[in-house]
A and B are shown apart, each in its own frame.
Chain A
């Protein structure tokens, strides 16, 4: 514990172990804080772990979250408290005491080795909540196969013994003696400096919203549908409809179930922000799952594909995959009698009459299945939690935050991220998680590193002159392997292999006591290579490598044979051949182990300064986020003053004064001692992560050199100068930014206006720029409300294609309609026509509801002009970072690394990443600061290990590696005339190695001979 009685504590509690909580915890733990993660269920992972694929990349959710789960589960500085809930809190920011109630798990986590025998024999079956109740689990269970911690737990409410006092079958059968019915609930009082709330959400109650749900099995929620698509779901990923297990031919998605609905009980007036995208994703993925062509239809009001590259995803679904999108309001879903099918009745936009049936003004269509795109809401227990913590909620039961302080709750020292902050998707949850980490890190900066643990290891042995002495440890994994594979035979076989001097079997090789035994064996038998024949290196290699290090062995002298996942699990019914396969796998691993070489990793000192390119709201927040943690920051700003685009915006949608905020921010930047270079440009950059050297052109031909360890790119975006609708020909045709300026400078002119017509999607969502600019709908609503306030008599008409007032922004859209602002939809192919006459402006458009052409005069036309990328080509080339076709920078991973670039040490925030409102830019900037701080706080980094190395004498300087490296690392050394790969930058992917036509590059730990000998060893078994 911290000894300074008044200072803050160097630990943080994260409440909720979904993807947001995980990200916040990892950022904090990697920056020098001790983290307590409190998760109410037996395993972390949250809702993301239940998803099949994720938009807009269609990455498998489990595949991308799983490494994070493993990292967190193994982190030395994260204490995971599962089946735990926060009961109360005392103290204040910097020093809280949190009371956490940890329910009895009835399984000793130290002993449980997750063999699964208990669950196999447990007589009690209950609905499996991970599969949304569509399959069953036992009363003793793990939440899902990849769960972290991978430890069983007993569900108190369903355990026969705990209910009725008889059974204890699991206890008798557990080979590890891990079941412990004597466990009691425990209460922990934990002292932390800050708290981050990431409790997540639940989906709206479909039962109260759609009558048929719960009565007809073919009406499912979107989350249930995710499970139906998932390989670990109730149907093992075979898409069948629940009623008859036949492959569906037609599926309908009904949008806004529980969202954007002010009337139904259980529904919410806000937009849930994610359903449009997940419905598109599910429709596309469902098509991939079906043998026969699957017809998919999405019934929606507005298609809200507002995120980065989302519109392209929507276009692809509609134009390439043939997903049908039907703008409508569904008013009835009913079962078709005599079949399992469902009938959807809906009114289309124009309410047109059905063909040949003038009396019917509704449409109907039959489907095999109906998926309800259910909205998101805060769980009742989270509302309770907020009460206990004294955290204020909004009317929608989200944590109350401000647009400029997006992760601060009403209580100082308690921060929020993820869905509890408001509806949002995974990338924004992850971003906010890093932002919340940043906020906590700022509070606790003086205590950074005071509560963390470090591991000490003995010096490494020199083994290069030794013959290989290989030890093989074969794991029974309880019965997981041993029930299928003859482990003793495999062990005996291993002993006969070349270079093997020792072989042994263990019940559970990964258990703590076995690891001690392995250590002794390594030392006693002077082993210099180790092979473990057990499970997957994905989860266990780091553990065994730690053991190697503890024995003074280089961690690369280790090899695994996966005789569980790739053998006993998949060949359960063929024990004989499975044993043969295990021998093959062990022979391969041993063969490779003999060729393994120790790889050295060199330490490099990290320069603690960060360079922030761009001094707008994002850049300033990023710089402040770093400076307030004690890292030096330098801002390079092109304009003569700080503020960027926000200097042209007077207020936020919520009515907050942006100029006042930017002035305050500018002052804070000054007060924080951040060096600001205005009127400057980054002219050159050399070096690499941890040690960059930048040349800044500070104007008047003077240059300044700056050394720094990290870069934050916050170069912003610009408003499109429209070529449409007579812009530039009349001062009555304005963009939203022009209107803002006019209101500020000449309110008297504006207040005289009788009618204003706004046109949305000008320069967005078209052939030239397929993206949605995200902020123009908000801009239109904001200004419509402002105009109404200035002159309640004014007519404001907004011509839109889809109103994208996502999340709680919907409130403002609702308000605007209440205030009498008219929203009229137009079609992309049928653009409004603007005529500029001498006396005024005429605008003509087709009203799709009235079904006829309307012509109106107006005092002004306001165009919702696109937000376009700045010309960043030079910067992108300098930093070697990628941009998308529209010029926005591409983050390392659209889902889970939203503010990182693929190259470490370079981070991204604000509109340089994609259009977004100020609040989101602030969160993203804080996130970038947290990510940069996690890197800088290491003070030292190691380079080398699994990296590519060029053999100069073989290099033909052909440029193939230069052209192929996804990270832009190789370059042809101009003096030596051969390729050079910087080991600090190389990510070890091996692309260049496989592409090099002269075979001049090799990858440490994956050399040709090390791979080929495995193939040779495998084939020895065949010939």
Chain B
């Protein structure tokens, strides 16, 4: 799932302060699950903004809505009638949702209300952690189910490096060394021999290096 984190409120204030009417749009998909962009966060953010502007003696009308998903046109279309009434849209969906909103309602400025961080998992209530870097060519089969692209700070394909100490990465004491984890897992699986065959260099064109990506599933095309 895509994980996001609310932007500092001052940053949001700075971009919307010039508008009279703002539509604050949440998304009931990934960002609702990571407690950053669902209807609850919409209500909290809207209240905080109203309070701020009321204290500034400034009247900005902020209306609330939450869509099933902002990455699908059909759901975005649900607010079609509303959008013309607003000077700007503040979306707290992920970066994809914000952009799709902006594409659909290109006549309106659309601002992001969250920072989209990563594809990850819920470790426990309120704690999320990165797991996938969307490189486009999965190598988990050879690394014991632990991704060096996402979990190694250097995205090294053969590790660990000299910066690994007691299972932690030199980047931070809080960060596990991805390759240490891979080593331990492969040991458990009895597959340490994999370390004797280095991984080949990766073709990064399937990742960001190949430019913006697109997937076409022909059988699914209308």
B125 touches A997 (CB 8 A): no
Bound Cα distance A964, B122 (Å): 14
A960 at the interface (CB under 8 A from B): yes
Q: 1/0 per residue B27-67: CB within 8 Å of A?
A: 01100110100111101000000000000000000000010
Smallest distance from the beta carbon of A230 to chain B beta carbons, Å?
A: 37
The answer to whether B125 touches A958, judged by C-beta atoms less than 8 angstroms apart, is no
Residues of chain B contacted by A999 (CB below 8 angstroms) = 38-40, 43, 66
Contact for A998 among B66, B122, B124, B125, CB less than 8 A: B66
Nearest residue, chain A, Cβ from B43: A999
CB distance from B3 to the nearest CB of A (A): 12
Chain A residues contacting B125 (CB-CB under 8 Å) are 960, 963-964
**A-B pairs, 6 with minimum CB distance:** A997-B38, A958-B33, A999-B39, A963-B125, A998-B38, A956-B32
Q: Does A959 reach chain B (CB closer than 8 Å)?
A: yes
Contacts of A959 in B (CB 8 A): 33, 122
11 pairs of residues in contact across A and B, judged by CB atoms under 8 Å: A956-B33, A958-B35, A960-B33, A960-B125, A997-B32, A997-B39, A997-B41, A998-B32, A998-B38, A998-B66, A999-B40
Which residues from chain B contact A956 at a C-beta distance below 8 Å?
Answer: 28-29, 32-33, 38
Point out the residue from B32, B43, B66, B124 that lies within 8 Å of A958, measured CB to CB. B32
Query: Distance (Å) between the CB of A976 and the closest chain B CB?
Result: 16
Complexed CA–CA distance, A959 and B39 (Å): 16
Enumerate A951-979 residues with CB–CB distance to B below 8 Å.
954, 956, 958-960, 963-964
By a beta-carbon cutoff of 8 Å, the part of chain A in contact with chain B is 954, 956, 958-960, 963-964, 996-999
Q: Are B28 and A954 in contact (CB under 8 A)?
A: yes
| Contact of A996 with B40 at beta-carbon distance under 8 Å, contacts A959-B122, A960-B35 already known | yes
Give Cα A954 to B29, complex, Å: 10
Q: How far is the CB of A1003 from chain B (nearest CB, A)?
A: 14
Residue of B nearest to A956 (CB): B32
Task: Give bound CA distance, A212 to B124, whole Å.
Answer: 58
Contacts of A958 in B (CB 8 A): 32-33, 35, 38
Which residues of chain B from 103 to 134 have any CB-CB distance to chain A below 8 Å in the complex?
A: 122, 124-125
Name the residue of chain A whose CB is nearest to the CB of B38: A997
Q: Which residues of A contact B122 (CB under 8 A)?
A: 959
Residue of A whose beta carbon sits closest to that of B125:
A963
> Given A958-B33, A998-B40, A999-B66, 11 other A-B contacts at CB below 8 A?
A954-B39, A956-B28, A956-B29, A959-B122, A960-B125, A964-B125, A997-B32, A997-B40, A998-B32, A998-B66, A999-B43
Residues of B within 8 A of A954 (CB): 28, 39
Among A959, A960, A998, max chain B CB count under 10 A is at A998
- Output the nearest chain B residue to A996 by Cβ-Cβ distance: B40
Task: Report the tally of A-B residue pairs with Cβ distances under 8 A.
Answer: 38
Across-interface contacts of B29 in A (CB, < 8 A): 956
Smallest Cβ distance from A958 to chain B, in angstroms? 4
Q: In the complex, which range does the number of interface residues on chain B fall in?
A: 10 to 19
- Chain B interface (Cβ within 8 Å of chain A)? 28-29, 32-33, 35, 38-41, 43, 66, 122, 124-125
Q: Which residue of A lies closest to B41 (CB)?
A: A997
A960 and B33 alpha carbons, distance in the complex (Å): 8
Contacts of A960 in B (CB 8 A): 33, 35, 125
A958 to B41, CA, bound (A): 14
Determine the chain A residues whose CB is within 8 A of the CB of B28 once the complex forms: 954, 956, 998
Considering the complex, give the chain B residue whose CB is closest to the CB of A999.
B39
User: Roughly how many angstroms separate A996 CA and B124 CA in the complex, as a whole number?
Assistant: 15
> With the chains together, A218 CA to B40 CA distance in Å?
55
A827 to chain B: closest CB distance in Å? 34
CB neighbours (8 Å) of A964 from chain B are 125
* CB of B64 to closest CB in A, whole Å: 10
For residue B175, give the distance in angstroms from its CB to the closest CB of chain A: 25
CB neighbours (8 Å) of B40 from chain A are 996-999
Give bound CA distance, A998 to B35, whole Å: 9
Assembled-state Cα–Cα distance A998/B38 (Å): 5
Instruction: Tell whether A997 pairs with B43 under 8 Å between CB atoms, given A956-B28, A963-B125.
Output: no
B38 to chain A: which residues have CB within 8 Å?
Answer: 956, 958, 997-999
A964 to chain B, nearest CB (A): 6
CB distance from A571 to the nearest CB of B (A): 28
Question: Closest CB of chain A to B71's CB: distance in Å?
Answer: 14
Q: How far is the CB of B42 from the nearest CB of chain A, in Å?
A: 8
Least CB separation from A953: chain B residue: B68
Give the interface centre of A959, A960, A964, A997 by most chain B CB atoms within 10 Å: A997
B39's closest neighbor in chain A, by CB? Answer: A999
Separation in Å of the A180 CB from the closest CB of chain B?
A: 57
Nearest neighbor of A955 in chain B, beta-carbon distance: B28
Would you give the shortest CB distance from A965 to chain B, in whole angstroms? Answer: 11
> How far, in Å, is A226 (CB) from chain B's closest CB?
38
CA distance A963 to B28 in the complex (A): 18
Q: For residue A997, which residues in chain B have a CB less than 8 angstroms away from its CB?
A: 32-33, 35, 38-41
Nearest-neighbour CB distance to chain A for B50, whole angstroms, equals 12
Q: How far is the CB of B211 from chain A (nearest CB, A)?
A: 32
Q: Which residues of B contact A996 (CB under 8 A)?
A: 40
Which residues from A are CB-within-8-Å of B33?
Answer: 956, 958-960, 997
Whole-angstrom CA separation of A997 from B40 in the bound complex: 5
Q: How far is the CA of A932 from the CA of B29 in the complex (A)?
A: 44
**Could you say which residues of chain A place their CB within 8 Å of the CB of B66?**
998-999
Most buried by B among A954, A956, A964, A996: A956
Q: Distance in Å from the Cβ of B172 to the closest Cβ of chain A?
A: 27
Question: Considering only CB atoms, which chain A residue lies closest to B30 in the complex?
Answer: A956
Closest beta carbon of chain B to A860's beta carbon, Å: 44
Could you say which of B28, B43, B66 has the most chain A C-beta atoms within 10 Å of its C-beta?
Answer: B28
Please give the distance in Å from A998's CB to the nearest CB on chain B: 5
Who on chain A is nearest to B36 by CB?
Answer: A997
Nearest chain B CB to A254 CB, angstrom units: 46
Residues of A within 8 A of B39 (CB): 954, 997-999
Complex Cα–Cα for A999 and B29 (A): 13
Instruction: Please measure, in the bound complex, the distance between the C-alpha atom of A999 and the C-alpha atom of B38, giving whole angstroms.
Output: 8
Residue among B32, B39, B122, B125 with max Cβ neighbours from chain A (10 Å): B32
Expressed in whole angstroms, the Cα–Cα distance for A998 and B67 within the complex equals 10
Beta-carbon nearest neighbor of B33 in chain A: A958
Question: A958–B38 Cα gap in the complex (Å)?
Answer: 11
On chain A, the residues within 8 Å of B41 by CB distance are 997
Residues of B within 8 A of A998 (CB): 28, 32, 38-40, 66
How long is the Cα–Cα vector from A996 to B39 in the complex, in angstroms?
A: 9
Complex Cα spacing A196 to B93, Å: 64
- Please report the C-alpha to C-alpha distance between residue A958 and residue B35 in the assembled complex, in whole angstroms: 9
A contact residues around B124 at 8 Å (CB)? 963
Bound state CA distance, A56 and B33, in angstroms?
37
Complex alpha-carbon distance, A960 and B122, angstroms: 10
Instruction: Name the residue of chain B whose CB is nearest to the CB of A957.
Output: B33
B114 to A: closest C-beta gap in Å: 13
CA distance A348 to B153 in the complex (A): 59
Report the bound CA distance from A46 to B39 in whole Å: 50
Minimum CB–CB distance from A963 to chain B (whole Å) comes to 5
- What is the minimal beta-carbon distance from B12 to any residue of chain A, in angstroms? 19
Task: Please give the distance in Å from A999's CB to the nearest CB on chain B.
Answer: 4
CB distance from B26 to the nearest CB of A (A): 9
Cα of A963 to Cα of B29 in the assembled complex, Å = 18
Instruction: For the complex, give the distance between the alpha carbons of A958 and B125 in Å.
Output: 10
CA distance A956 to B31 in the complex (A): 10
Residue of B nearest to A997 (CB): B38
- Considering only CB atoms, which chain A residue lies closest to B42 in the complex? A999
Across the two chains, which residue of chain B brings its CB closest to A958?
B33
B1, closest chain A residue (CB): A958
Q: How far is the CB of A949 from chain B (nearest CB, A)?
A: 16
For the complex, give the distance between the alpha carbons of A959 and B32 in Å: 11
A943 to chain B, nearest CB (A): 27
| Complex-state Cα separation, A956 to B69, whole angstroms | 10
Point out the residues of chain A lying under 8 angstroms from B43, CB to CB.
999
Complex Cα gap A822–B125 (Å) = 54
Query: When chains A and B are docked, how far (Å) is the Cα of A347 from the Cα of B124?
Result: 53
Q: How far is the CA of A879 from the CA of B28 in the complex (A)?
A: 32
* Bound-state Cα–Cα, A963 to B39, Å: 19
How many Å lie between the Cα of A627 and that of B43 in the bound state?
54
